[in-house]
Amino acid sequence: MRHLVLAALVTLGLTTQSHAYEIEEQQIFGAGAKEISVLSTTDLAAISQVMQAFADARPDLRIRYDQAASIEVFRAIHDEAVPYDLVMSSAMDLQMKLANDGFAASIMPKLGNLPAWARWRDQLFGVALEPVVTLASRRGLGDLPVPHTRRDLIAMMREHPDALNGRIATYDPQQSGVGYFLISQDSRESEGFWRLAEVMGRLNTRLFCCSVEMIDELRAGRITIAYNVVASYASRFTPGDPDLVQLALEDYTFAIVRSALVPSNANDPQGATDLLSFLLSDVAQRQIASDAGVALMPGLGPEPSAHLRPIRLDTGLLVYGDQLRRAGLLAEWNAAMVQP
What is the tens place of the pLDDT at every residue in 269-296? Answer: 999 999 999 999 999 999 988 887 888 8
Same-domain check for residues 142 and 103: no
Same-domain check for residues 263 and 232: no
Same-domain check for residues 96 and 237: no
How many domains is the chain built from? 2
Is residue 228 a part of any domain in this protein? yes
Q: What is the pTM of this model?
A: 0.87
Is residue 314 a part of any domain in this protein? no
Same-domain check for residues 224 and 139: yes
Mean pLDDT, to the nearest integer, of 112-118? 92
Is residue 316 a part of any domain in this protein? no
DSSP 3-state assignment of 79?
helix
pLDDT band at 5 (very low <50, low <70, confident <90, very high): very low
Mean pLDDT, to the nearest integer, of 146-169? 97
- pLDDT for 124 equals 98
CB atoms within 10 A of CB 322: 11
Helix (H) or strand (E) holding 288: helix 282-292
Is residue 315 a part of any domain in this protein? no
The pLDDT mean for the chain works out to: 90
Domain that holds residue 208: 130-254+321-337
Same-domain check for residues 115 and 62: yes
pLDDT band at 340 (very low <50, low <70, confident <90, very high): low
Mean pLDDT, to the nearest integer, of 222-247? 90
Same-domain check for residues 196 and 329: yes
Is the pLDDT reported for residue 13 higher than 70? no
Is residue 301 a part of any domain in this protein? yes
Same-domain check for residues 14 and 111: yes
Same-domain check for residues 237 and 277: no
Is the pLDDT reported for residue 217 higher than 50? yes
Same-domain check for residues 104 and 235: no
Give CA–CA dist 71/99, Å, rounded: 15
Please say whether the beta carbons of 171 and 212 come within 8 A: no
Residue 74 belongs to a domain with what CATH number? 3.40.190.10
